[in-house]
Amino acid sequence: MRFQKVVLTGGCGRLGRYVAQRLRPHCDLTLLDRVPAEEPGLVRADITDYEALKRIFAGQEAVVHLAAIPNPRTAPADVTFRINVQGSWAVLQAAEDCGVRRVVVASSDAVLGLHYNPPGWGPRYLPIDEDHPQRPIDFYSLSKECTEAICRSYAARGRLQVLALRPTHIVFPPELPEIEARGADVQNYHLWTYIAPEDVAEGFACALQVAEAPYAPYFLTAADGLNTRPTLELLRERYGGLPPLRDPGWFAANPCAAILDARRARDRLGFAARVSWHDMVAARDAARTDA
């Protein structure tokens, strides 16, 4: 691994456990989280505590920053905004103060403003790349757009490298029972995009490993959607029409292709999602049979 001493914020969370498992064999990993847990290498701290972060980041080479309130349903607006935005600022500032060389930050495809917004706010074009306009109006998505602004600013200062990864909806095991229902739902709030947690963990490992790291946001998504009906058919039904197709071959090659285009992560980070939802369903069904 390019960096030997790595801190993982949010290391006790749902995604954090997968990222820790992926990174731990390859580096000296410190987990930072506010929850009381018995985890190897865990340091308890709050990411809004700038002084504590400086103590923890001293001598570290890289930080993977996942700690956040991960949706608009879990905590009040003010708490979510403070932890996600103030916390990300404190992580970046403390990392810069301590001479950390690279910080990889969990943003979200929610920055697009497609998930929690009014029904008419559809994609402006398809497939959606990282240059697509961002129109978040809910406090969680806005907190992630602000987080990306902070990332851009610290990268531009030039003292540390910053990458922002935008995973789409991560399907954790408790969600597997309803995966087919989500795919059939025309109003699916993630527009059917998904990714397995193992693949997101791989994306963070790629972002730590890549040699050149100029600032950019990167979508992390599976290549297809959760839908079994063609993606364009569902979009037409949902919005009453379709936006322009930036790449007409996209849905010709796979009618159930994801609306998000993750080719930037493929080309620059060497990332490719490997787990499809069909694999997840097969594993789920095999476990039911065994039980």
Ligand X SMILES: NC(=O)c1ccc[n+]([C@@H]2O[C@H](COP(=O)([O-])OP(=O)(O)OC[C@H]3O[C@@H](n4cnc5c(N)ncnc54)[C@H](O)[C@@H]3O)[C@@H](O)[C@H]2O)c1
Q: Which residue is nearest to ligand X (CB)?
A: 13
At 12, give phi and psi (nearest 5°).
-100, 5
Rounded to whole angstroms, the Cα distance separating 149 from 146 reads 5
Do the Cβ atoms of 88 and 65 come closer than 8 Å? Answer: yes
Q: What tokens does 270 get? A: 């060497």
Contact flag: residue 16 with ligand X (CB under 6 A): yes
Pick 20 or 223: Cβ nearer ligand X: 20
Pick 110 or 251: Cβ nearer ligand X: 110
Q: In the block, which residue shows the tokens 């946001």?
A: 217
Contact flag: residue 234 with ligand X (CB under 6 A): no
Among 6, 8, 13, 265, binds ligand X (CB under 6 A): 13
Pick 87 or 136: Cβ nearer ligand X: 87
What H or E segment, with its residue span, contains residue 165?
strand 161-167
Contact flag: residue 108 with ligand X (CB under 6 A): yes
Alpha carbon 152 to chain centroid distance?
Answer: 17
Rounded to whole angstroms, the Cα distance separating 84 from 76 reads 12
Pick 44 or 246: Cβ nearer ligand X: 44
Q: Least Å distance between CB 9 and ligand X?
A: 6
Rounded to whole angstroms, the Cα distance separating 261 from 170 reads 16
CA proximity to 22, closest of 33, 43, 8: 8
Q: Please give the angle made by the CA atoms of 86, 90 and 96, to the nearest 5 degrees.
A: 145
Q: Least Å distance between CB 139 and ligand X?
A: 12
Q: How many residues bind ligand X (CB under 6 A)?
A: 23
Rounded to whole angstroms, the Cα distance separating 126 from 103 reads 30
Contact flag: residue 82 with ligand X (CB under 6 A): no
Contact flag: residue 283 with ligand X (CB under 6 A): no
Candidate ranges 8-16, 231-239, 257-265, 268-276; the one touching ligand X (CB under 6 A): 8-16
Contact flag: residue 15 with ligand X (CB under 6 A): yes
Rounded to whole angstroms, the Cα distance separating 282 from 179 reads 12
Q: Least Å distance between CB 242 and ligand X?
A: 26
Among 3, 8, 31, 33, binds ligand X (CB under 6 A): 33
Contact flag: residue 113 with ligand X (CB under 6 A): no
Rounded to whole angstroms, the Cα distance separating 10 from 84 reads 12
Rounded to whole angstroms, the Cα distance separating 114 from 133 reads 10
Among 6, 10, 31, 91, binds ligand X (CB under 6 A): 10
Q: Least Å distance between CB 155 and ligand X?
A: 18
Among 2, 14, 124, 152, binds ligand X (CB under 6 A): 14
Contact flag: residue 70 with ligand X (CB under 6 A): yes
* Cis amide linkage into residue 119, ω under 30° from 0: no
Q: Which residues bind ligand X (CB under 6 A)?
A: 10, 12-16, 33-35, 46-48, 66-68, 70, 83, 87, 106, 108, 167, 169-170
